[in-house]
Structure 1
Amino acid sequence: MPKIYKYLLFCLIVSSIFGTTTYYFLSNRHKAIVKTHVYHTLGFIDNNWNITENNHQFKLVTPTLLIDGIYKSMEGPKVSRVIQLNNSDDVYVITGFKIEAVDATTLKSVSKEFICHMNIDLNDKSYYTAFNLHNRIGKQFPRLTSLSSGFEEFSFPKGYGFIIKGNEPLFVMSEALNQNISPITKKIKHCITIDYEKYNGLQKPLQNKITYIRLPFDKYDPYKSPTDVGNNQCVPVETKNHTETDNNGNMLSGHWVIPNGKKTYRSFINSQLQIKDSLCLHTAAIHVHPFATQISLYDKTENKTIFTSKIENYKDKIGLVKVAPFSSKEGVWLYVNHEYELILDVNNTSKIDQDMMGSMFLFFYDKELDEKLKQSNN
Structure 2
Amino acid sequence: MAKPKIYKILGVVLLLAVVAGTIGYLSLSNRHKAIVKTTVLHKLHLVDAEWHVNNAESHYKMVSPSFLIDGIYKSMEGPKASNYVQLSQDSALVWLTGFHVRAMDAKTKQPVSNDFICHMNVDFNDVKYYTGLGLTDRIGTQYPRMTSLSHGMEDFSFPAGYGVPMKGNDLLFVTTQTLNHNLPDINFQVKHEVTIDYAKNDQQIKPLMCRTVFVMLPYDKRDPYKEPTDPGANECIPVETKNHSYDDGNGNMLSGHWVIPVGKNTYRSNIDKQLQITDSLRLHAAAVHVHPFTTSLTLFDKTANKPIFTSHVINHKKSIGLDKIEQFSSEDGIWLYKNHEYELVETVNNTSGIQQDMMGSMFLFFYDRELDDKLNGK
| TM-score by shorter chain over 0.5 | yes
1:180 is matched with which residue?
182
* Aligned position for 2:240: 238
Match for residue 195 of structure 1 among 197, 200, 204: 197
TM-score (norm 1): 0.98
Distance 1:127 1:227, change over 3 A: closer
Offset of 1:107 from its aligned partner? 1.1
Could you say which residue in structure 2 is the equivalent of 1:215? 217
Question: Aligned partners of 1:126, 1:15: CA distance in 2, in Å?
Answer: 44
- Compute the displacement of 1:5 (Å): 3.0
Contact preservation (8 Å) 1:225, 1:234: no
Q: Which amino acid aligns with 1:110?
A: V
Post-superposition Cα deviations, 1:303-359, rounded to whole Å, max 9, x if no partner, equal 011100010001100000000000000000000000000000000001100000000
- Following superposition, the deviation at residue 17 of structure 1 comes to 1.1
Q: Percent identity between the aligned chains? A: 57
Tell me, which stretches of 5 or more residues in structure 1 are unaligned?
A: none
User: Partner residue of 1:77?
Assistant: 79
1:161-172 alignment runs, 5 A limit: 161-172=163-174
**Structure 1, 246-255 or 5-14: larger mean CA deviation:** 5-14
Counterpart for residue 318 of structure 1: 320
2:287 touches 2:328 (CA, 8 Å); kept in 1? yes
| Aligned counterparts of 1:6 and 1:373: Cα–Cα separation in 2 | 72
SS, match of residue 25 in structure 2: helix
Shift of 1:54: 1.5
Equivalent AA in structure 1 for residue 220 of structure 2: D
Q: Aligned partners of 1:223, 1:362: CA distance in 2, in Å?
A: 32
- Aligned-residue offset at 1:225: 2.1
Aligned residues of 1:259 and 1:354 also touching (Cα < 8 A): yes
The one-letter amino acid paired with 1:107 is K
Give, in angstroms, the shift of residue 165 of structure 1.
1.1
Aligned to 2:266: 264
1:15-26 equivalent positions in 2, closer than 5 A = 15-26=17-28
Contact 1:298 1:342 in 2 (8 A): yes
Q: For the residues of structure 2 that align with 1:53 and 1:78, how far apart are their CA atoms?
A: 22
Match of 2:207 in 1: 205
Deviations 1:44-65 (A, max 9, x none): 1100110001121000100001
C-alpha distance in structure 2 between counterparts of 1:258 and 1:93, whole Å: 39
**Number of the residue aligned with 1:38:** 40
SS in 2 for 1:230: helix
SS of equivalent to 2:231: coil
Give the residue type in structure 2 aligned to 1:144. Answer: M
Picking from 239, 246, 249, the partner of 1:247 is 249
Unaligned runs of at least 5 residues, structure 2: none
Q: After superposition, where does 1:1-378 map in structure 2 within 5 Å?
A: 2=3, 3-375=5-377
Conserved 8 A contact 2:229-2:235: no
- State whether residues 100 and 109 of structure 1, in contact with CA within 8 Å, keep that contact through their aligned partners in structure 2: yes
Pairwise CA distance, 1:9: 2.2
Tell me, in whole angstroms, the C-alpha distance in 2 between the residues paired with 1:366 and 1:146: 20
> Hey, what's the Cα distance between the residues in 2 that align with 1:182 and 1:30?
18
Name which of structure 1's ranges 225-234 and 150-159 shifts more when overlaid on structure 2.
225-234
The offset of 1:227, in angstroms, is 4.2
